[in-house]
Amino acid sequence: MLRHDVVIVGGGLQAALIALAVRARAPAVGLAIAERGPALGGNHTWCFHATDVSPRMAAWIEPLVGHRWDGYDVAFPSHARTLTGGYRAIPSDRVDAVVRAAGATIYTCAHATAVASTRVELADGRALTAPLVIDARGPDRSDGVGGFQKFVGLELVTTAPHGLTRPMLMDACVPQTDGYRFVYVLPLAPDRLLVEDTYFSERAYLDVDAVTAEVRAYADARGWRGTIARTETGVLPLPWQCAITAPRPGLITAGYQGGWFHPVTGYSLPVAARLAEAIADGLAEGDVLDRVDALADAHADQLGFASRLVWMMFRWFPPAQRRGVLEHFYRLPEDTIARFYALTLTRRDRARVFLRRPPPGLSWRALVTGGLAQDAR
């Protein structure tokens, strides 16, 4: 039996944020992470807006950040805009080394077969015990799924400089297939790009080969020719109903499993960072459950509103018309957009989402009946 002060199950973003926050606030706490893969971090690129996190959490996260930009672009058929907020990216290959440097004990290739208060059972027969267990395993929710966000991203090493200086968060000037579709582009270096084809779809099925071909065609059309250095894929459920798993003595369910994420965007870092702060502060002050409970109350209100937006997007608008919802959204004031991504919307922000002219494509029949909007024939 291996004893620690805190055991985290799952070695992704949430675990990394908790480890860094605990090192800063409660460095004497002995923290361990059990990850089923060969290293922490997996194969991901996590992004966030500079306004998504508190100043002190930004300082704790800083060692993870690999790329920084001072603004980003969005483009729709009748509207394009440059926004000035800072944007950051965390490449997964930084996570393992940074968390190890923070002093956490890492168990890799450690598949958890049972997770309970104060105890974690591993497939190899070992048991990890601690006064506090944090279950931070990945996105596996099936309750009230409205649709799915799915993507294929190719990291390209280009044969010539690509010329981009800031990210394109949404290029929605592409054919609208399989729901709302946009292309996301991060300039990682003068000769390196992450080009990601993303869909907000009713279907979880992702044809990786077909979407990879779409990404290559998009890049080729812009003169971005080169070799593929890395591929990442994902399918995230976008729930229209979601509850936070209440913490209890000896066990906190964190990350996507616990409801600590943004149901509209799939972004997890802003909420995961706030949870990491609450846990670290609670460990430092001896009131972890009280702090997590208080944060859960605040997050539940935001989560409920955002989940309703998922319902509206998938129920009120036909798939080919969802682009108009996002185009409408990106006409809002920049501070409202920032708070939307951070999931810290005010009542005024919420009113702004609804008090403008409705986006084109709204199905009034679906709105009134609660039915599913269909493609116009």
**pTM for this model (two decimals):** 0.91
Give per-residue pLDDT as tens, 13-29. Answer: 999 999 999 999 999 99
Q: Using alpha carbons only, give the angle 5, 1, 105 rounded to the nearest 5 degrees.
A: 45
Of 2, 57, 26, 59, the closest CA to residue 280 belongs to 26
Q: Does 363 have pLDDT greater than 70?
A: no
Confidence of residue 316 (pLDDT cuts 50, 70, 90): confident
Give the pLDDT score at 213: 97
Whether pLDDT at 357 is above 60: no
pLDDT digits (tens, 9 = 90+) for 323-335: 988 888 899 999 9
Token couple for 321: 């018309």
pLDDT averaged over every residue in the chain: 91
What confidence tens digit (pLDDT) does each residue in 169-181 have?
A: 999 999 999 999 9
pLDDT, position 366? 41
Taking a C-beta distance cutoff of 8 angstroms, is the pair 292, 248 a contact? no
pLDDT for 377 equals 31
Q: Which two tokens stand for residue 257?
A: 């499993």
Q: Which of 240, 237, 275, 232 is nearest to 255 (CA)?
A: 275
Does residue 211 register a pLDDT over 80? yes
Q: What is the pLDDT of residues 88-125, one digit of tens each?
A: 999 999 999 999 999 999 999 999 999 999 999 999 99
Q: Give dist(CA 86, CA 83) in Å, integer.
A: 9
Model pLDDT for residues 146-198, shown as the tens digit of each residue: 789 999 999 999 999 999 999 999 999 999 999 999 999 999 999 999 999 99
d(CA 323, CA 247): 38
Please check whether residue 196 is in contact with residue 153, taking contact to mean a CB–CB distance below 8 angstroms.
Answer: yes
* pLDDT band, very low/low/confident/very high, at 361 (cuts 50, 70, 90): low
- Which residues are CB-neighbours of 291 under 8 A, at least 6 positions away? 278, 279, 281, 282, 285
| pLDDT given for residue 41 in this prediction | 94
